[in-house]
Structure 1
């Protein structure tokens, strides 16, 4: 965000002096501050404390340099591409091993006692009303599953009813919601109609081989029985790394029939998550079916076999609408034998297809917008909402999905109903959004005074009901009646609405802001001091190249990327300050020609000057001159190899507190208790191990004496918490808390390990970013290319708020129970953040206090009190109203998969990082939660008489198994010896605070196929499934794989015939990476590329369950619980 023309004119019209050629006479101070002569060379420095000669320092301890981890490579397509080795998050060390390629190639697996089918969405009984008033029949599709189920583990899922609920003919519609606002019904909005999908069914596996397509009314021939050897295996969360060597076991299976009833789709029906209905509970059958031993077949390594038949639809061939489906296969009367059949990966629920279909609803000439309604409805997918090319949401009375998303959009009246489903009742709050930075979607600020309920202190919102002619209002949360101030009074119209409703954002919008008064400010002081941004750079032999690179580009970043207030474009940017550090701390006085004040005694830091912070609009020439000369200041000195870190933050923030140039009035008030707010950027390279524990606060040291390889072996085991927990002295925990309570300033870390695998103790240093609320930590691998500068620019621009306090209020019956994210809390109800970026978000789990009223909304209000970039104190309010329900089917129909998986993964990683659970227990938590969710859906929402041989997935949660599969393999949970302790701690910190858009791509990375278009004159990219068998297209020139942190370029073996493409990309045709010498590419990028190089014949381990294996295990467990 560039400065205005007037600002640029100020830069170059100031009559300011550049850095002088000669240095100033230094001033020396003892620790008590009195002047004392000290022999020093002529330099522009002022020393404080007991300066120690370098020769008298204790000898430097040798830096621990663990051996780099073994490189995991991507084998040739001729030998197969292991899913875990294509995308390495921090393991290779660059990409997510875990969630990379989830879906396996087509394989030959033994069937269970019944052929497993997948039905998406269940079914809907006749007469069940949909949101748009139409009776929408259920969309159902089935695909056969193959694969011997896993052994049945001890389930830790919440207990479910063992007996089915009584069968009903139809479900009753929940009571009509009575909005508190009489005009609410006129504001509701329905999503655009989705094209009707005909019921589809995949033919039997035998017909796949023969090429025949079975449609409605036809039946498939009986399958040919085949017998294959089988090996035992473990459940997904108990799989060990490396190959399994267990005795084989042979079994025979017979394919059960594939049957399902099909109903036609009505025109203009609502999308499945909003309108698909569900039938009453079905009577469970097949109690006498023999239970097979729970064993999983090994990965057979069969080549992928895609479905090539004509007329295949979304999940199979299209059937005639309205025609009943006939069973496909033999009669359902024999379970004594098992048959081996093939499974087509294309028949599985596809993340890519679901994403594209959701985006397609908003990619038209009519510019369809998703307008939030009262009550809230299920929003578009996260990938659609955050698509930069789309503008798909509008505030219609509830907060936009950018700010608040719920796991369910119909809340059951009784807590027991929700417990039956095992779906968490939670919301994910993102107070600020990236679209506000460039003023695309700015939350409006009202000029009204702050009106609140006298009892619960809720802020005025669209759901308040005005009574008694407008003289009083009834709170939408606690129903208390409060008198309206005379200055806020307005008459009501014939509908009971205020005449000035649409002139006040708080009366018709879901998100808005108030200007705060003195009582909402820290120490009662309003708008006293300007925010600041402090840059702290390590000055050691290791960091010298980084210091030179940063000083070269930092002036341009300050000129163009400092944050601005989107609601006050005339406000100035934050002030800036600079310091460097090693075993001493150098604080620079930019106004005084960059004179440095050096603190030698880091055990007792203090502010050495009062002109530390400078205005970039006024003193930009001095800033630019200082940064250009910074590398040369220490060019002739032998730099140290040890450093401190904690005292640097203390010294920077203490100096900012006494600064005299950060007052808005221009006249500092020494007696004012005003607190300056801001952020500290730390550019750090080495473990802060200078001095001794008693003399140096925040000193860290390696936690082990054994080799790094031995320590890595603890990752992924029950003992990993011993190396991933923060340091026992809790210094950085206390410092993070002081940054929030005393300094109101956040901390962001940019880490540059000197070698790959060097230990920086990210688990301990990460407490600074976690407690201060930023949650921002960047880690680079022995390079400081343009990616680092892009990250720094984005971090600065996305800085939005300081000294924030957030409180969540809910209506009667529910209350906030637990918070998951990056924050500090002194009470159980308020959470505090020293600095907030646009990507910061927090998950809030809600808990029942009592049974909910049937005719009222569940209202959630999130209030954030913060200081903006302009220094103005504001209150931002986000509101959401959810309707209530009584039926289990309504919960599943209005569930949000993106929010649900985000909350579940946060819970698993949070318990793992806190040491409450082991890796295996965290995986069990995810697996058992998925089993309970799908079992409850099958028990309470499945079509009567449906076969237990079908795995029925709710339409709204059909991607849940896919995301669970990615979570079981993600670095934050499954990271093992191929990672370093710092890498796994880094991945856990990022995932705990990951916004929905980031968690989605972490769990299911994007894969783009690059190929020529029809004219072969241009390139086009197509997103494909994240599967190994998708990386063997003969027309593909390359594949781009991205997981939210890194992008990999994969060149397949089939590229040999495209010399023109190779020449365009690499400059010339080459047959080895070592011959590539691009003129326009930096050596850092080239090293990065070579590090990920693999050669034909390289092998890798296959770790974790495949998507198909997980579905088989889920199906087996569901049938066990139903029986």
Structure 2
């Protein structure tokens, strides 16, 4: 919330926004137009009718005394201050608000106000239900500061049907500001052109109504000849919500969060104020409907904004520790459970029965991120090699050995923590037990004391020998891609990213371009111009010369960089607007079929010819949406199953597809994204593509795509304790069998969500275990690895 400038919004809109969260249980005030700010002319006002004051009431300082006043008071001998302005000459024609037993009398003109002497002492009674004595507050409303210690608290008259209850101060949940110096005008300072009653409450909830007069207690609007109103002591804390004069003036450089109905702002929490239910606004005339709120603002979760780094031990005092918030910065110390970066459950306490889980309305799932990036200060995941014996596993559920399996009978038998089956310990793995029942070598074996380890996979886990890391690039060279600069940006990004690929025979690359036909390039001939091989048949696609299309990057780097530099000029005069996107992917897949790898496609227009061609659905979708037809949701689904069938075949041969959409028109992302989502890839969408700003982003995305931690030919399965079973997997993968998911590629940015359901009742106070296992071949490695985090 910023300070109002000349020509800015009116005070009415400022006051309405300031009290958007405050609801007062009282009848609506009379309708009167809110006057403009000072200097804009006089404003109409409403004056309360004369009526006898309530018992114990004191006169409002500086207000005129009507005839027959019940109050008589000599002028105090204190420091003088300027008197309040005179009442208006004429009453407003607007309807009068209910009287408050008559207006307070006013002292003669020679009577001066007493200066402000700070908040009342702790021994004084708290006026009109104010905050606790520990919180400093200004002088009570409508009471002279010099008479505060001797006067009784001013309360509202009894409520009756003829007269609604008067405003008796802010509720206990409202945080008042504490002033530490300086002088402030007393509550209820009168305006220069209107007379305000002694208890002018804030505007009603829901915004200011037309013609509704908003009282300004806590701030005064003086004539142009008088000094400006008080704006607060520098450095004082602003109240959560309160008088318009305080809420509307914020220190420079601060931003005020928008309010929510019935919810206390964040800056009002944690100040020792009790929580009081708020009263909703009723649009009907008459008394307000008072219904207490069932929501406690103090219990509403909010993001933690701590900047300090927390050291988190995954297991403390023999129990799993509650993980820190995902938005916080923390360093994980693996003491038995896996890091929350690798696996995080949606619930820290799991219900014992399915009925209790359904009643709670909470989803039971875990988020698995096998290649999550660790903190620089964290220890690396330990690597365990069982050589030819292979990892120790349960004979029944095939769970891997972990820190929660118990060894009994002097270490000869271990009990699975997931299914409870007793297994014989292999002779090579025998070890005596200590007095505490643990193996004596438990602290020396990472698989028995850590929550996450990596096993060297044996041949039984591998379908074939580990393949090299293959990166095949497909670049759109249609007329639209050339004219928008998308082709040049893609070639530049590929050329710059080649230097980040590791040297060696296990890193291989290939490239092809496409428009209405497909162009392969042979990079085998060294020191010569690359040879272009054209495939015109885009309905029955084939690939020529398998051995010349994909080569080690160390042997063709120079030729490839030269080719990438010349491709934009080679197709500069191209007038073919069609794009055979599906056929080009099929041809690239056939070239990668023996090895698998990553197929990176740069597409700029809607695929229009060949296998997997698409038609524009944008016009149809807009008409459906405008008419409210439910058929518009079909735009979120693939148009046909052709690309889905291709994607399943790609995943079977371990080919991952990433698509970079550098487009300025409709490209049917819903249909194109089926291929990346099925093969473990990703869609990078640049719309509308700009040749000035997007090439740098395209290069950064491509570079991170090929250099981040990742694994190829992965398979993943999640096991859990008895009483639970896996219900479903969510993410980018291919699922051919119910229990496993196939991931042609998985990287540090990919997360798999696994949801569970109950099939039996849990024993109370017992621990539930989860063990996701993924087997993958890491690039540039000759052996497969199997990671086994335990939670």
TM-score range, shorter chain: 0.5 to 0.7
3-state SS in 2 of match to 1:774? coil
Structure (1/2) with the larger helix percentage: 1
Among 604, 615, 631, which residue is 1:701 paired with? 615
Deviation at 1:427, TM superposition (A): 1.3
C-alpha distance in 2 between matches for 1:817 and 1:704: 36
1:462 aligns with 2:375: no
Aligned to 1:731, which of 615, 620, 642?
Answer: 642
Write the distance in 2 (CA, Å) between the matches of 1:847 and 1:223: 58
Structure 1 residues 479, 257: closer, same or farther in 2, change over 3 A?
farther
SS in 1 for 2:304: helix
Instruction: Decide which of 549, 562, 570 is 1:625's aligned counterpart.
Output: 562
Residues 1:355 and 2:355 aligned together? no
**Residues in 2 aligned to 1:446 and 1:736: alpha-carbon distance in whole angstroms:** 35
The correspondence for 2:457, drawn from 509, 512, 516, is 516
Match of 2:374, SS state, is: helix
CA 1:349–1:753: 2 relative to 1, 3 Å:
farther
Q: CA distance change for structure 1 residues 543 and 252 in 2, over 3 Å: closer, same or farther?
A: farther
Distance 1:458 1:206, change over 3 A: same
Cα contact 2:583–2:611 (8 A) shared by 1: yes
Is residue 26–residue 287 contact of structure 2 (8 Å, CA) maintained in 1?
Answer: no
TM-aligned CA deviation for residue 864 of structure 1: 0.7
Taking the aligned partners of 2:156 and 2:741, their CA distance within structure 1 comes to 61
Question: Cα deviation per residue 1:115-169 (whole Å; 9 max; x = unaligned)?
Answer: 9xxxxxxxxxxxxxxxxxxxxxxxxxxxxxxxxxxxxxxxxxxxxxxxxxxxxxx
With over 3 angstroms needed to count, the CA separation of the structure-2 counterparts of 1:540 and 1:348, relative to structure 1, is farther
What is the aligned partner in structure 2 of residue 605 from structure 1?
Answer: 541
Report 1:946-965 matches (<5 A): none
685 and 328 in structure 1: CA distance in 2 versus 1, 3 angstrom threshold: closer
Q: CA deviation at 1:879?
A: 0.9
Residue aligning to 1:875: 786
1:574 aligns with 2:507: yes
CA displacement, residues 149-198 of structure 1 (integer Å, 9 cap, x when unaligned):
xxxxxxxxxxxxxxxxxxxxxxxxxxxxxxxxxxxxxxxxxxxxxxxxxx
Cα shift at 1:799:
5.1
Conserved? CA contact 1:590–1:626, under 8 Å: no
SS at match of 1:470: coil
Residues in 1 aligned to 2:650 and 2:154: alpha-carbon distance in whole angstroms: 71
Indicate which of 679, 697, 702 corresponds to 1:787: 697
Contact 1:252 1:338 in 2 (8 A): no
Are 1:534 and 2:478 counterparts? Answer: no
From the superposition, tell whether residues 316 and 539 of structure 1 become closer, same or farther in structure 2 (CA, over 3 Å): closer
Judged with a 3 Å threshold, the aligned counterparts in structure 2 of structure 1 residues 329 and 877 are, in CA distance, closer, same or farther, namely closer
Q: CA deviation at 1:413?
A: 2.1
Q: Tell me the CA shift for residue 647 of structure 1.
A: 1.7
The answer to whether the 8 Å contact 1:682/1:748 transfers is yes
Distance 1:771 1:336, change over 3 A: same
Q: Does 1:487 align with 2:428?
A: yes
Check 1:688–1:224 CA distance in 2 against 1; reply closer, same or farther (3 A cut): farther
Closer, same or farther: CA 224–807 of 1 in aligned 2, 3 Å: farther
Alpha-carbon distance change, 770 to 313 in structure 1, aligned in 2, over 3 angstroms: closer
Residue matched to 2:626: 713
Distance of 2:486 and 2:129 partners within structure 1? 59
Q: Deviations over 1:1050-1080 (max 9, x none)?
A: xxxxxxxxxxxxxxxxxxxxxxxxxxxxxxx
| Partners of 1:114 and 1:256 within 8 A in 2 | no
Moved more, 790-799 or 424-433: 790-799
8 Å CA contact 1:811–1:858 kept in 2: the answer is: yes
Structure 1 position 412, deviation (Å): 2.5
Q: Which residue of structure 2 aligns with residue 812 of structure 1?
A: 722
CA distance in 1, matches of 2:731, 2:436: 43
Change (3 A) 1:481 1:205: same
Q: Is the partner of 1:535 in helix, strand or coil?
A: strand
Q: Flag the 1:571–1:466 CA change in 2: closer, same or farther, 3 A.
A: farther
Q: How far has the Cα of 1:326 moved from its partner?
A: 10
Structure 2 residue corresponding to 1:586, chosen from 519, 523, 546 = 519
State the match for 2:385 in structure 1.
447
The 1-side partners of 2:702 and 2:303 are apart by 34
Matches within 5 A, 1:754-793: 754=664, 758-783=665-690, 784-793=694-703
Give me the whole-angstrom Cα distance separating, in 1, the residues matched to 2:659 and 2:384: 36
The C-alpha deviation readout for 1:1077-1116, integer Å capped at 9, x for no partner, is: xxxxxxxxxxxxxxxxxxxxxxxxxxxxxxxxxxxxxxxx
1:800 and 2:707 are equivalent in the alignment: no
Q: Cα deviation per residue 1:468-497 (whole Å; 9 max; x = unaligned)?
A: 222221100001011122222223222222
State the Cα deviation string for residues 612-670 of structure 1 (Å, max 9, x = none).
Answer: 212223332222222222223334x4341101111212211211235xxxxxxxxxxxx
Q: Is residue 493–residue 702 contact of structure 2 (8 Å, CA) maintained in 1? A: no
For residues 257-336 of structure 1, the aligned pairs below 5 Å read: 297=206, 307=241, 315-316=268-269, 318-319=271-272
Unaligned runs of 5+ in 2: 10-15, 28-126, 141-151, 174-203, 217-237, 251-264, 280-284
Q: In 2, Cα distance between the equivalents of 1:581 and 1:683?
A: 10
Equivalent residue in structure 2 for 1:416, among 348, 355, 367:
355
Residue by residue, what CA displacement relative to the aligned partner does 1:663-690 show, whole Å, maximum 9, x if unpaired?
Answer: xxxxxxxxxxxxx231111110000012
The correspondence for 2:371, drawn from 432, 437, 455, is 432
SS at match of 1:399: coil
| Structure 2 CA distance for partners of 1:575 and 1:450, relative to 1, 3 Å | same
Instruction: Please identify the structure whose Cα radius of gyration is greater.
Output: 2
Q: Does 2:341 align with 1:399?
A: no
Distance of 1:838 and 1:204 partners within structure 2: 60
Tell whether the 8 Å contact from 2:314 to 2:338 is kept in structure 1 after alignment. Answer: no
> Is the CA contact (8 Å cut-off) linking 2:606 and 2:614 kept in structure 1?
yes
Distance in 1 between residues matched to 2:632 and 2:6, nearest whole Å: 35
Distance 1:299 1:573 in 2: 71
Partner residue of 2:634 out of 722, 738, 759: 722
Structure 2 residue 282 is matched with structure 1 residue 338: no
Q: Does structure 2 conserve the Cα–Cα contact (< 8 Å) formed by 1:801 and 1:836?
A: yes
Aligned to 1:983: none
> Which SS does the other structure have where 2:384 is aligned?
coil
Shift of 1:841: 0.7
Q: Distance in 1 between matches of 2:662 and 2:743?
A: 26
Shift of 1:328: 10
* Cα 1:207/1:714, change in 2 over 3 Å: farther
CA shift in 2, pair 1:206/1:795, >3 Å: farther
Cα shift at 1:744: 0.4
**TM-score after normalising by structure 1:** 0.46
Report how far residue 254 of structure 1 moved. 9.0
Report deviation, 1:704: 5.8
Q: Is the 8 A contact 1:471 1:484 kept in 2?
A: yes
Structure 1 residues 414 and 622: CA distance shift in structure 2, 3 A: same
CA contact (8 A) 1:746 1:773 kept: yes
Q: Find out whether 1:682 has 2:601 as its counterpart.
A: yes
Taking the TM superposition and a 5 Å limit, the aligned residue runs for 1:740-751 are 740-741=651-652, 743-751=653-661
Q: Any conservation in 1 of the 2:23–2:278 contact (CA below 8 Å)? A: no
Distance (Å, rounded) in 2 between the aligned partners of 1:224 and 1:837: 70
